Every structure is written in C-alpha cells, then in structure tokens.
Amino acid sequence: MTLLQLEGVSVRFGERAVASALDGVDLAVAEHEIVCVLGPSGSGKSTLLRVVAGLQPVADGRVLLGGADQAAVPVHRRGVGLMFQDHQLFPHRDVGGNVAFGLRMRGASKRSSEARVTELLELVGLPGAQGRAVASLSGGEQQRVALARALAPSPRLLMLDEPLGQLDRGLRERLVVELQGLFSRLGTTVLAVTHDQGEAFALADRVVVMRDGRIAQAGTPLEVWQRPASEFVARFLGFENVVPAELSAGVAATPWGKVPVPAGSPAGEHQVLIRPAGVVLSAVGLGCEVVSRTFRGTHVALLLRPEVGPVLEAECGLEGAPAVGDRVSVGFAPAEVVVLPGE
C-alpha cells in the first residue's frame, strides 16, 4: 500500500529563478517503509519534506497521502510528524511538557496525554524523565525527547530532517541502530533526510539520491551501492576511481590501461567506476607507488600513484599491506568494475 505519493512535484523560489528547488519529482513511499533522501547541501531535500508537510506550496504537481490529494489540506490536518535538525525543544517546559505538546494541542485529556508520554519516554529509552529540565539533558537525550514529541500523536508519516546532524559520530551511529529497531517495532513509515550516506544506508529500506532538485537515483542501499546510476552518484558515495573509457569485447580502455569489465557490458564510450576492492595487488600489472595507507579495521585502504592515469584507490588485506613509498603492481577484478549508465 502506497502511503505517500509525489507526482511531478516542482518548487521554485523567486519569479525569475532559473533552477528549481524541486524539479518534477516523482516518489512513492509504501506503508511501513523507511526511505532516506540523500544529497549534497542545496539539492532540495528539506524542500521535499516541507512540501509533504504542507509548509511549502508547489508550483507544479501533486502530493497524495493515503491516495488523497493534499492541495487543500492544511499542515495540522495531514497527520505527518516532522522533526528538524535543530529539534527546538521548548526550553521553559520540562521533558513531559515537551512530549505532550502535540497531544494537548490536539485536545487530548491530561490523563490520556500523561499515559502516552510515559509510554513514549520508555520507548525512546528515557523512562521517568517527565520532570527533568530540558537544559539538564545531553545532546543525545534531547534528540530522544524530540523524537518522542514527534511520535506522540502517532503520525501516519514521520519525517526527519537531518535528525542526528548535530551529534558526534559515535552517538549518531548508536542512535541510528536504535531508531531502526524502534521504527521496525512500531511499523512507522519514515521519510528521512540526511547528507550522511552512512546514516542513510544504515537506516533505509530504500535510498533516494538527489541532485539539483531531481532524483538522481532511487533503490535499495545495496542496489545504489553496487550499481550507482551515474558518475554523480558514484562520487557522492565517495568513490574516486571514475574515468572515461572506450569499451569493446569485455575490455575497457582506460587511462590506467586495459581493464576487464563484466560480461554483457555495453560497447562504446562510457564512464567506468572501479571499486577499490577491484584494484588488486598482483605480481604483474600496472606499476604504482603507494602514496598513503589507512587502517580500516577489516582492510587497509591504499592510495596509489600509477605510472599512467590519475591516482587510484585500492584495498588490501591487513597481512602484508605495503608501506608508503613502496612500489607495487596492480590488476583489476571485473566483478568490481561498474559501467555507469551516464547522467
């Protein structure tokens, strides 16, 4: 069942704006699905959430929730919860008062609201915190209170805009795992925005990569990671080994020489991505100098300066990893080579 549907949604700021903040966006989110929108700053992620919430009028297109066009439905009637990056708890209210805010606004009785607050604080791991002052909470605790507040009215769609953006890395990684567990237990439908791919890939059933107000790629984390749809997506995911190549008969002629490509690859000129795991140390092959090496826990990441072509990212096992300044030679593994479909 589709809960949220965007059909050709465009948003423009200013009358003479050349570029649109959103440009013909089509997106469907199923019930219970967690979709993460990823993209660089300014690509339209927040605008997308604001459109769904009803905070931003559209120039073109339609937003449907549960099959119903939302054009005439005001913000507070859409049944969506929104949590922004700067979660803005009310400093003069205690934790309980913050979580209860939306409930009381909707006319819930004091008793039912108190019961719901108790339940939600337990859910987010802050049982009994009702009476605590907001100022006494750590960043992570404030985040949990903001989440409880957004969840309190049981929104049919929860939207999170860079929900963990302000927190340090370790805490973010822990909270992502907690959020994922929480959402799957509750069956919450979530549309979340982040510029952090690690966060998106950890949380999402499906990721949507945005570029300049358009969807550059949508798919499961695995699909997007394995098969980036364009050079833009590949580079956004942090891959550096992307070069133009001439393909024929299972081989790509690249600035690094001939590279084998997967069977069934198209012929002609294409951008080619070689994942670092596909650059393999071997007895013979392209000669390189090791520029840097970084221990990554399960492997060592290498930066290589080849005899020809741009620098290469490579990976190798912990045992026998070469040192900076060493001369090595590398071959290429076709399974880690992706012919990019183009922009």
Helix 95-105, helix 110-123: angle, nearest 10: 130
Number of C-beta neighbours around residue 157 at 10 A: 21
Of 36 and 302, CB closest to ligand ADP: 36
Least Å distance between CB 17 and ligand ADP? 8
Residue 139 contacts by C-beta under 8 Å, 6 or more apart in sequence?
166, 167, 168, 171
Name the binder of 39 from ligand ADP, Mg ion, none, CB < 5-8 A by kind. Answer: ligand ADP
Of 21 and 200, CB closest to ligand ADP: 21
Least Å distance between CB 235 and ligand ADP? 17
Name the binder of 43 from Mg ion, ligand ADP, none, CB < 5-8 A by kind. Answer: ligand ADP
Which secondary-structure segment (H or E) carries 159?
A: strand 157-161
Name the binder of 47 from Mg ion, ligand ADP, none, CB < 5-8 A by kind. Answer: ligand ADP
List of residues contacting ligand ADP (CB under 6 A):
13, 21, 39, 41-47
DSSP for 42-75 reads TSSHHHHHHHHHTSS--SEEEEEETTEE-TT--G
Name the binder of 13 from ligand ADP, Mg ion, none, CB < 5-8 A by kind. Answer: ligand ADP
Of 10 and 118, CB closest to ligand ADP: 10
Structural Rg of the chain based on CA atoms: 24
Distance CA 53, CA 101 (A): 18
From 44-52, 107-115, 141-149, 330-338, span contacting Mg ion (CB under 5 A): 44-52
> Is residue 143 involved in binding Mg ion (CB under 5 A)?
no
Least Å distance between CB 82 and ligand ADP? 13
Least Å distance between CB 63 and Mg ion? 18
- CA torsion through residues 148, 149, 151, 152, sign: positive
Helices (H), 133-259: 139-151, 169-186, 197-203, 221-226, 231-236
Distance CA 202, CA 211 (A): 21
Of 46 and 188, CB closest to Mg ion: 46
Of 46 and 98, CB closest to Mg ion: 46
Least Å distance between CB 334 and ligand ADP? 36
Least Å distance between CB 7 and ligand ADP? 19
Strand order in the sheet with 257-260: 257-260, 251-254, 242-248, 268-274, 337-340
Task: Please identify which residue in 5, 20, 43, 46 interacts with Mg ion, judged by CB under 5 A.
Answer: 46
Least Å distance between CB 50 and ligand ADP? 7
Give the residues lining the site for Mg ion (CB under 5 A): 46
